[in-house]
Structure 1
Amino acid sequence: MVAMVASSLFASLDKDGDGKVSASELRGCMAAALGEDMSEEEAAAILAAADADGDGLLDRDEFLSLAREAECAADEGGRYECLREAFGMYANAADGEEQCITPASLKEMLSRLLGTSQHLGMEECRAMICRFDLNGDGVLSFDEFRVMMHDGLM
């Protein structure tokens, strides 16, 4: 299942659709997803670490290999922290409330990750949340997100 998720992520990173991810595509996605700029050198270093054929780009197989290595390298504590970080990217919280993923916050993050070419509607986001909303409150808590990532995708 990791391969399916990684393959989808690869497609969203490959903005020009050439089957390869360049340093500039990686930088653009990091800026959109995290709101932080990554230097050209940092992006090139990440690519070089996984670039098996030495062309300075990541093809789908190199990206999938990197995703599998990352999954295998994560220990339980590391995995929890990674899940917390991922949850935080999607979550939304009002003052004094517990963080949760709402249909609106899911739609916003997916729009950032997928770009303007693929917009999901609010109903699609509600349906995605509903599948793993264990208590029926219309949002995902961290525990529900953890179950989704462990049982639903991996």
Structure 2
Amino acid sequence: MFSLNRSHLQQIFNKLDKNGDGRVSIDELMWLLERTGIDTCRADELELLLGKTSLDFIDFLFFYDTIINIDGNKLEENQDSLIESDLHKAFEVFDSNGDGLISSEELQNALSRLGLWDEHSSSPDCKSIITAYDTNSDGFLDYEEFKDMMLFAKS
């Protein structure tokens, strides 16, 4: 997840600290959370949670770190879900006959349609690619084998 460095956080803190007293009130913090789209509780609940009516810069850093870690976990879960959905869609593109398996011919056709296959290149043929990821040795890629291939290629 995107995170800010201390300098950026100091700038944000200073902008939130409207009266310049070196503290950010619960209302100012609520305004920031609402503007950033972070689901929050009511101001009185946030105050109870923090045990304070305002935060100095150090408290603000701890609060930011906590929010990033909580929100980062949600973001990671959402990203995993999106990746899984995208992989299913990609699998359907490669599995042109819809039998749940990708043959070397289907792989070559899909790669050709995507402009990723050059028959004159010295790269491995599609049978070799299938063999490399075909863990059950049936000569095809099922969804899990395809997923492993795609995630390996990504890294």
TM-score, normalization: structure 1? 0.43
Larger gyration radius, structure 1 or structure 2: 2
